[in-house]
């Protein structure tokens, strides 16, 4: 019996190529997702590009950084105009750095755990080719 290791290697290589090709051009849709409790706590998620191109022209999501002499803070907000919406601010330097890295191709996720103060409790941003680029 003759062994044919090249057949196994060929099949393995073909499987890898096929599975890799199926991911090429993968697209993800990240519409606005919003969960706001009566006490003002909650979370929001979405891609600015997908929210902007939504058929619902009252949706919004975004973050920014504000600096004046001696003070810097970041903020995030998301929702429907006029309501419901969720917003938060942070003075945490690590969160400010993360929020500064956002692009219109990013997906944003933030949480508010204290509705009284409106502090950002967590922030996440991913930028990937799977998210839509912002359209005019």
pTM more than 0.95: no
Q: Residues 85, 14: contact at Cβ < 8 Å?
A: no
- Which residues sit opposite 101 in a β-bridge? none
Report how many domains make up the chain: 1
Percent of the chain with pLDDT over 90: 47
Domain hosting residue 110, numbered range = 28-127
Torsion of CA 30, 32, 35, 36, to 10 degrees: 150
| Domain assignment of residue 43, yes or no | yes
CATH code at 123?
2.40.50
- Reply yes or no on whether the pLDDT at 19 is more than 50: no
| Domain assignment of residue 1, yes or no | no
| Domain assignment of residue 52, yes or no | yes
Q: How many residues does the chain have?
A: 136
Q: How far apart are CA 89 and CA 87, in angstroms?
A: 7
| Domain assignment of residue 57, yes or no | yes
Sign of CA dihedral 75, 79, 80, 85: negative
User: Residue 2's pLDDT band (boundaries 50, 70, 90)?
Assistant: low
């Amino acid at each position: 019996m003759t062994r044919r290791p090249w057949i196994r290697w060929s099949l393995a290589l073909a499987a890898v190529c096929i599975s890799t090709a199926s991911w090429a051009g993968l697209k993800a849709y990240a519409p606005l997702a919003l969960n706001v409790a009566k006490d003002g706590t909650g979370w929001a998620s979405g891609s600015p590009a997908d929210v902007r191109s939504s058929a619902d022209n009252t949706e919004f999501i975004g973050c920014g950084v504000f600096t004046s002499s001696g003070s810097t803070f970041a903020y995030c907000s998301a929702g429907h105009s006029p309501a419901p919406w969720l917003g938060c601010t942070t003075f945490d330097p690590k969160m400010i750095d993360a929020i500064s890295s956002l692009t219109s191709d990013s997906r944003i996720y933030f949480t508010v755990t204290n509705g009284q103060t409106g502090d950002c409790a967590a922030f996440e941003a991913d930028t990937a080719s799977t998210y839509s680029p912002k359209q005019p």
